[in-house]
Amino acid sequence: MPDFTNPFRRQILAGVAGSLAASMLPAHANLPSPRGRVEHCIFIWLGGGMAQVDTFDPKRVGQPMQRVAGSAYRSIPTAVTGVRVTEYLPRLAERMDRVTAIRSIHHNVVDEHAAATLRVHTGRATTGTISYPSIGSIIAHERGACTDGVPAYVLIGYPNVSRGPGFLGPRVGYVYLTDTTAGPAGLTRPADISTERHANREYLLQQLRQPNGRSIAVQAYDQAIGESLRLSGPQFLRAFQLEEEAPALRERFGGEFGQRCLLARRLVERGVRFIEVSHNLNFINGTGWDTHNEGQLNQHLLIRELDMAVAGLIDDLEQRQLLDRTLIAIGTEFGRPSSFDTRGGRAHQAAAFSLVLAGGGLRHRGAYGATDDLCQRITQNPVSIPDFHATIYRALNIDPAKNLYDGSRPVPITDGGRPIAELFA
């Protein structure tokens, strides 16, 4: 029987075990932790589940009504040799040297949209014991706004607990809006309130506040009132005057979603740190990105709109020398299998799907990670949701292993996530 008490044997066994464990990790897990210099993040959310085989990880063309698995559309070459995308992403195809489609994302939430949305936003599984903060709130907590007079975190879309601050509290929550032309509800100052009168109100409020003896609820309310007064000034609210932009530029961004992306750029210019932009709130294809059944038939309308808006955003940021300082992320709760259902749609798939990064001064490569011939499993460089979060955090010079605190309980910013070091120069 082997003598496991022998120190020399223990060293050998420890080395073998370490080598086996290392071989099971994605390649990026063994590289040194990189640092980024990004100042802003625009997070584009495709609610419903983007089909990666019809967008950023195309496979052979299938036949939906005959239920022959494959992509729904032809693929086209891109600016990066060997990387192809769907034919409905022609503008992004020309810009893939500034984009990386991470084709090897995975998690284990398949049939619950809400739970998968929470997973991608917080990087954690749903739990009844702790309310985890979203990626936007963590970035707001760690970096704050770039300038005074603007919020750190703006949500262009409908409010949802998955986007919230969790145990970090309302101070790092979001300001939200659904109408790009009006700005956040409740912040617009009435026309009959002058700047001087507004300042007098703030002064009076400060005099009424007492430093001690207020409950936590009252303190939170005071903070909310103070924040709303601070944000109702002209510096922030002017961002929503999209008519200031040249008509030709607005046309390059496209329709309603494109105008949301244009607004995101204007918010970046004013110092907002994190902006989430929801796509397709009006369901132009009937079902949104949740392309079950007949929803698949008009999926190309969504893909075209995404292509125009994101390409416009990349160009606009680049022309203003903001692209290297702004990371664009495209998120969705899970992907879709290459197989078709009886009515030509697709089910859900979480074992292998794509998320996308662009700009941010990263060393882009068009694509990272790989899947098999029908995108059923990952064949190269698996990337977990915590890894994806860690990559974004590191780009913004946030330590993904740092502990935050829920009361006295330490909670790491990511659940063991490791940045994709190959994306950093």
Which residues have a Cβ under 8 Å from the Cβ of 92 and sit 6 or more positions away? Answer: 78, 85, 99, 307, 310, 311
**Confidence (pLDDT) at 234:** 67
Q: What is the token pair recorded at 257?
A: 């979603």
**Confidence (pLDDT) at 343:** 85
Which residues have a Cβ under 8 Å from the Cβ of 320 and sit 6 or more positions away? Answer: 265, 269
CB distance 115 to 109 below 8 Å: yes
Alpha carbons 93 and 91: distance in angstroms, whole number: 5
Alpha carbons 116 and 120: distance in angstroms, whole number: 6
CB distance 172 to 279 below 8 Å: no
Q: Alpha carbon of 177 to those of 89, 174, 220, 222: distances in Å?
A: 28, 10, 21, 22
Count of alpha carbons within 13 angstroms of residue 54, beta-carbon side: 29
- pTM, 2 dp: 0.86
- The helix (H) or strand (E) run that includes residue 104 is strand 99-106
Where helices occur in 26-150 by DSSP H, the ranges are 90-93, 113-122, 135-143
pLDDT tens, residue by residue, 280-325: 765 566 678 998 887 888 899 999 999 999 999 999 999 999 999 9
CA angle 186, 187, 191 (to 5 degrees): 95
**Confidence (pLDDT) at 248:** 97
Report, as ranges of residue numbers, the positions in the chain whose pLDDT lies below 70. 1-35, 185-193, 198, 201-202, 205-234, 281-286
CB distance 379 to 17 below 8 Å: no
Alpha carbons 202 and 25: distance in angstroms, whole number: 55
pLDDT tens, residue by residue, 377-423: 999 999 999 999 999 999 999 999 999 999 999 999 999 999 999 99
For the beta carbon of residue 303, count every other beta carbon within 10 angstroms. 24
Range 33-140+273-423: architecture per CATH: 3-Layer(aba) Sandwich (3.40)
